[in-house]
């Protein structure tokens, strides 16, 4: 009689453990696939769905940064976010690339940076690269980098779910 009672209560115990967060089989991390980089991209979420925002490199040039001219040329680029608002919105990786689209230097730019006094949709930033003479263009990667939720490793109970791809870095083929 006792084993039957234990078997009858086992499913209930499993449900209680799962609901309490003591179970690890309910937490899954997934990483979005990196989208195709371009001068103009439609920004996508971690499920590759468009956010209704377009990011574009308006122009770029090599010049010394005014605060550190002794360091030589850096890549100054202007970018535009259309469809984002001033207070919250996506972020994308911007990369200076060579003729083969190999990243020479990258950083994340936020749509909130694109609300300057001259043009309310355009911002500018600088990329530092080891060999500025190799820069052929500046590209944006369409994956939204603005939200990095907690991973299962960080929080087994509330973590998990989709995450943006790793930020692009020097040497990545775009």
For the stretch 36-54, pLDDT in tens is 999 999 999 988 899 999 9
Cα–Cα dist 15/11, whole Å: 6
Cα–Cα dist 21/25, whole Å: 10
At 49 the pLDDT is: 92
At 52 the pLDDT is: 92
At 163 the pLDDT is: 78
Cα–Cα dist 84/102, whole Å: 28
Q: SS in 3 state form for 13-54? A: HHHHHHHHCCCCCCCCEEECCCCCCECEEEEECCCCCEEEEE
Percent share of the chain, pLDDT over 70: 80
At 116 the pLDDT is: 66
Q: Indicate the SS3 state at residue 62.
A: strand
Average pLDDT, the chain: 84
Q: Indicate the SS3 state at residue 102.
A: strand
Indicate if the pLDDT at residue 18 is higher than 70.
no
* First-last CA distance in the chain: 66
Indicate if the pLDDT at residue 103 is higher than 90.
yes
b/e code 40-74 from CB counts within 10 Å (16+ = b): ebebbbbeeeebebbbbbbebeeeeeeeeeeeebb
> What is the helix, strand, coil percentage profile of the chain, to 5?
15, 40, 45
Which residues have a Cβ under 8 Å from the Cβ of 117 and sit 6 or more positions away? none
Q: Please, what's the largest Cα pairwise distance for the chain?
A: 85
At 152 the pLDDT is: 85
How many CB atoms sit inside 10 A of residue 165's CB?
15
* Beta-bridge partner residues of 123: 79
Q: Pick the more confident residue, 57 or 89.
A: 57
Q: Is 48 left (phi over 0), alpha (psi -120 to 50) or beta?
A: left
Q: Pick the more confident residue, 133 or 32.
A: 133
* Of 3-7, 25-29, 126-130, highest mean pLDDT: 126-130
């Amino acid at each position: 009689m006792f084993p039957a009672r234990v078997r009858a209560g086992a499913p209930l115990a499993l449900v209680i453990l799962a609901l309490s967060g003591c179970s690890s089989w309910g937490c899954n991390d997934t990483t979005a696939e990196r989208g195709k980089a371009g001068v103009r991209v439609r920004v996508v979420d971690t499920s590759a769905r468009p956010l209704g925002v377009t990011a574009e490199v308006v122009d770029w040039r090599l010049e010394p940064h005014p605060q550190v001219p002794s360091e030589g040329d850096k890549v100054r680029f202007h970018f535009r976010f259309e469809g984002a608002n001033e207070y919250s919105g996506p972020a994308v990786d911007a990369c200076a690339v060579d003729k083969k689209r190999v990243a020479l230097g990258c950083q994340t730019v936020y749509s909130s940076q694109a609300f300057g006094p001259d043009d309310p949709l355009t911002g500018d930033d600088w990329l530092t690269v080891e060999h500025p003479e190799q820069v052929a263009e500046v590209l944006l990667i369409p994956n939204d980098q603005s939200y990095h939720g907690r991973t299962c490793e960080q929080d087994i109970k509330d973590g998990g779910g989709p995450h943006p791809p790793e930020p692009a870095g020097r040497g990545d083929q775009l």
